Structures are given as structure tokens and as C-alpha cells.
Amino acid sequence: MKTLSIGCLSERHLLLFGAIIQWFARYELLMQQIMAKVAGSDTAAIILLTAGLDFTGKRQALLDLMRHRAVPLDQYDRIYDYLTPPHTLTPLRNDIAHAAWIPGPVHDAIQPDWILRLPPSIKPWRSDAEGPSDKFIERDEDKNIYTLDDLGAVVETLAENHALFLDYLRKSGLFPEVTVEN
């Protein structure tokens, strides 16, 4: 098979990008399965209802449902905590899915192409973690430069956190009947 690369992206970059996207898909399915368990519904119905939501929308739907169903606060807090690492990595996931990538300013680094194509008067902004608000957090361009080691660490973080999350769900009784295993 011919070596696969796209511009500055090597096979390893593409493999890590794919792993990151797949971990997000696993988190999304797990959130839908927890929603079904909390709502007393079947997973297929929840998947249909939330199909149009991205990771952030599914996360918010799960947290809102848990508040509505009066899930004990300690369980709510733990689930919120387990969803924080992927939530903070959502901008990277979105850049992987929606941006072309170019070489970064340092050796062996890449960055989303959009960084250099914005008019000088416009800077990218990300809202805070809880959704629309008056407070905005400016996106730091340095956080958009990734080496292969950085991307590998992201994959490890998502995988390890997912395993801990599944373990917690099993112990708490919130583990859905059917789930994606590591």
C-alpha cells in the first residue's frame, strides 16, 4: 500500500486524529446510554432524539436530564468530572473534523490552517464551558500547535479517562446494559 499522507499530515497524524474522533464517538454513545438508563428508556430512542447534537449538546442534555431526574449530587458531580477532559478537548476535536492542517512554527508541529487565514482584526473566541454567557475566553493560538507526542498524549488521556468512567459507572449502578468497551 502506498504511504498515506495529506499535505503536512503523516500516517501517524491521521491515525491519531482518527483515534481522537473515535474516542469522542465512544463518549457520545456512552452519554446516550446513560441518558437512556436515567430516563428509563431504550438507547435507540435516545440515540434518535440526540442524533443531531454534537458532543457538547449531548453532554449538556445528559447533565440536564440528570438534574431533572434528581440523580444524587455525588453521582452528578462524578459524571461531570469524567466528562470534563473530553469537553476541554472539544476545540481540538472540532479542528480535526473541520480544519485543514499546516506545518506549525516549531519543528515537528502542526496547526489548523484557519489560524493564519483570519483577518488581523478578528481573533477566534470560545465561550465558557457551560454554554452561552457574558464571559468569553480568548482562544490561545499556542494551544493549537500539536506535535505527534501531544496528539498521542490526548489519545492516552481520552482512553484512560474513558476506562475510569466505565469503572465508575459499573460501581455506581449507572452502567448501561450495552456499551462500547475499551
d(CA 73, CA 112): 39
DSSP state of 129: T
d(CA 176, CA 160): 19
Q: Is residue 2 part of a domain?
A: no
CA 36 to mean position of chain CA atoms: 20
Instruction: Give the whole-number percent of the chain exceeding pLDDT 90.
Output: 65
The residue range of the domain holding 23 is 11-100+148-172
Number of domains in the chain: 1
Considering only CA atoms, which of 16, 12, 11 is closest in space to residue 1?
Answer: 11
Torsion, Cα of 148, 149, 153, 154 (10° steps): -30
Q: Is residue 3 part of a domain?
A: no
Phi-psi group of 71: left, alpha or beta (phi > 0 → left; psi -120 to 50 → alpha; rest → beta) = beta
Q: Is residue 115 part of a domain?
A: no
**pLDDT band of 8, cuts 50, 70, 90:** confident
Q: Is residue 165 part of a domain?
A: yes
**pLDDT band of 133, cuts 50, 70, 90:** very low
Q: Is residue 128 part of a domain?
A: no
The amino acid present at 161, given as its one-letter code, is: N
Q: Is residue 60 part of a domain?
A: yes
Q: Is residue 164 part of a domain?
A: yes
53-87: per-residue pLDDT in tens?
Answer: 999 999 999 999 999 998 899 999 999 999 999 99
93-127: per-residue pLDDT in tens?
Answer: 999 999 999 998 888 899 988 765 555 555 555 44
Compute the Cα dihedral for 99, 105, 106, 108 and give only its sign: positive
Q: Is residue 81 part of a domain?
A: yes
What global pTM score does this model have?
A: 0.80
Q: Which residues have a Cβ under 8 Å from the Cβ of 76 and sit 6 or more positions away?
A: 63, 66, 67
Pairing relationship of beta strands 101-103 and 136-138 according to DSSP bridges: unpaired
Average pLDDT over residues 168-172: 91
Average pLDDT over residues 158-175: 92
| Residue 122, C-alpha cell as written in the block | 478578528
Q: Give the position of cell 512554527.
A: 105
Average pLDDT taken over every residue of the chain: 84
3-state secondary structure 24-53: HHHHHHHHHHHHHHHHCCCHHHHHHHHCCC
**pLDDT band of 157, cuts 50, 70, 90:** very high
